[in-house]
Structure 1
Amino acid sequence: MKVAYVTWDGWDDEREVMLAAWLGADIEGAPVRWDDPHVDWSSFDAAVVRSTWDYVHRRDEFTAWARRAGAATRLLNPATVLTWNTDKTYLRDLGVPIVPTHWSSIDLPVWDEYVVKPAISAGARDTIRTGDRQQAEAFAVELESQGRTIMVQPYLETVEHEGELSLIYFGGQFSHAVRRNAMLAHDMRDGVAGNGKFTLRDPDEDQFELAERVLGQVAEELLYARVDVVRMPDGEPVLIELELTEPYLYLKAEFDAPDMFAKALADLLG
């Protein structure tokens, strides 16, 4: 089988290990830029979206591409999932505990620190963290003036000492989890490179149960998923984000992860 590894021209340190694992599963992988106008997507048995990390300020173009590619070949994850998942307003639809979120610049709650970001973003682009309520409100107004939906959340101190936990799934099966150290500085408007420091970690039972509940809300068949959770000050695990579009998968943290991904892909393609 010939499968497109959908990527961009920038950094991606998981590409080679992924392609090697695919080859071991008799899948010929070819790195292809998502926005290359010369690609014939119908020439592939499938296209797997991976490091398309330049789509954020071109989301309409990206989702239109996903629909075209999905009509020409099997797109993983599907175009409907990518369209839904690239706008974080999906968090309102899942019916699971999430980080408290205010969706307007008006009447901000009183919190010690604020995180303000647009609903369509990645890598902490156009995001600030501040203890100044007026600054938070002003930045939220600025984003809204650009026609962007905004999210205002409290900065959780638990992130500093416990970190975020990312649970990674392939073909609906749990693969591994990593603890990610806090990486949010006070002004991230230009975004960040990389994913900070991380360590392999076993999820606690309540964190695992939350991740399973989150994935149970998605009807479509998924090749990959990353569920990011954090604890509230009272200890309750809550969802930060459900990454179904182009998540970094921490493949180097778990020896068997690349092969598990390749097997999930082979099983989906039959």
Structure 2
Amino acid sequence: MTRIAVLTPDPADSSYAGQWPTVLERLAGALATAGITVEPSPWTEHVEDASGLTGHPLVLPLIVWGYHRDHGRWMQACETWQAAGVQMLNPAEVIGWNSDKSYLGRLADKGVAIPPTVWVEAVTQADVDAAFERFGAETVIVKPRVSGGAWKTLRLSRGEPLSGAPEGPAMIQPYLPSIESEGETSLLFFGGALSHVVNKRPVAGEFRIQVQFGGQYSALPEPSAGALALAQKTLAAIDEDLLYARIDMAQGPGGEWLLMEAELIEPDFYLGSAPDGGRRFAEAVRARL
């Protein structure tokens, strides 16, 4: 058996204590089918010194939950791992830039379709009011550029005062009603090949599709041609050495597919919805070893 490292949350962060061991167990089960065992290690123990990681043939940053609440140290850690030559996939440089959603703007510059977006350094009521006028929308979404799991994400209706705004750099987008009617679709890629497709829908009255908000997930037999084309265009625009990627998208007002996120750090792979239970992921990891 080959032993690799999987980075996990800060032990001092109790908010994930009851969740990440289950995710690790699911990942470990899939990897075991390819003769790979995992050694969990908190990412916060390797911020300034990567020596505890350099001895591993491969390090997967798949459960680094909470990095968005400690982003300064996260970026320092990514620089440390990159400088030390840690055999990490996805690469430390990639998971560094992928932690700030401004990457969506760079992908848009390369022709990838995203929702109309206003980028602000510190969101104000004036910014929100201007966004309503710019988009001609009745509802907008305000979210931090560094976030995870819909953390500090707001949905505001026209005329509704801004309250509980995220601190620091943020983004404002028109709300896509298709999130409620059609849901968000995720395409999972391992080793550059499509593995499976999952549709995620919020419960009635909710706009967040995450499990903690009651999101309902279902496997799809295959993506639509438009969804697959957007995912492939996104991966081509990223043009990095990726072991895994989850490409999240939703439909715009005209039915066009729009990129919501390219999750390259610690995405939920929804292995329970994968027809092979994660075999393709395990094989992709084994191929890199």
**Contact (CA 8 Å) 2:132, 2:139: kept in 1 or not?**
no
**Contact (CA 8 Å) 2:196, 2:275: kept in 1 or not?**
no
Alignment pair present for 1:267 and 2:284: no
Q: Where in structure 2 are the equivalents of 1:248-267 lying within 5 Å?
A: 248-267=268-287
Residues 120-156 of structure 1, C-alpha deviation per residue, up to 9 Å, x if partnerless? Answer: 11111111112134524x66xx54xx4x211111111
Q: Which runs of 5+ in 2 are unaligned?
A: none
State how far apart, in whole Å, the 2-side matches of 1:152 and 1:49 are: 29
Quote the offset at 1:257 in angstroms.
4.3
Which residue number in structure 2 is paired with residue 96 of structure 1?
Answer: 112
Which residue number in structure 2 is paired with residue 164 of structure 1?
Answer: 184
Which residue number in structure 2 is paired with residue 36 of structure 1?
Answer: 45
Aligned with 2:102: secondary structure?
helix
Q: 1:226 to 1:244 in 2, by over 3 A?
A: same
**Contact (CA 8 Å) 2:247, 2:259: kept in 1 or not?**
yes
**Contact (CA 8 Å) 1:128, 1:186: kept in 2 or not?**
no
Which residue number in structure 2 is paired with residue 196 of structure 1?
Answer: 215
Q: 1:194 to 1:76 in 2, by over 3 A?
A: farther
After TM superposition, the score normalised by the length of structure 1 is 0.88
Which residue number in structure 2 is paired with residue 18 of structure 1?
Answer: 27
2:94 alignment partner, one of 73, 81, 95: 81
Aligned residues: 261
Amino acid at match of 2:89: L
User: Which region of structure 1 is more displaced relative to structure 2, 37-46 or 70-79?
Assistant: 37-46
After TM superposition, the score normalised by the length of structure 2 is 0.83
Residues 138-186 of structure 1, C-alpha deviation per residue, up to 9 Å, x if partnerless? Answer: 66xx54xx4x211111111111110000000001110001000126977
Quote the offset at 1:211 in angstroms.
0.3
Quote the offset at 1:84 in angstroms.
1.1
Aligned with 1:36: secondary structure?
helix
Which residue number in structure 1 is paired with residue 146 of structure 2?
Answer: 120
Aligned with 2:285: secondary structure?
helix
1:54 alignment partner, one of 59, 63, 66: 66
Quote the offset at 1:117 in angstroms.
0.9
Alignment pair present for 1:227 and 2:247: yes
State how far apart, in whole Å, the 2-side matches of 1:194 and 1:175 are: 26
Quote the offset at 1:230 in angstroms.
0.4
Q: Where in structure 2 are the equivalents of 1:206-245 lying within 5 Å?
A: 206-245=226-265
Q: Which runs of 5+ in 1 are unaligned?
A: none
Quote the offset at 1:193 in angstroms.
3.1
Q: Where in structure 2 are the equivalents of 1:130-149 lying within 5 Å?
A: 130-133=156-159, 135-136=161-162, 142-143=165-166, 146=167, 148-149=168-169
Quote the offset at 1:63 in angstroms.
2.2
Quote the offset at 1:43 in angstroms.
2.5
State how far apart, in whole Å, the 2-side matches of 1:21 and 1:192 are: 22
**Contact (CA 8 Å) 1:230, 1:239: kept in 2 or not?**
yes
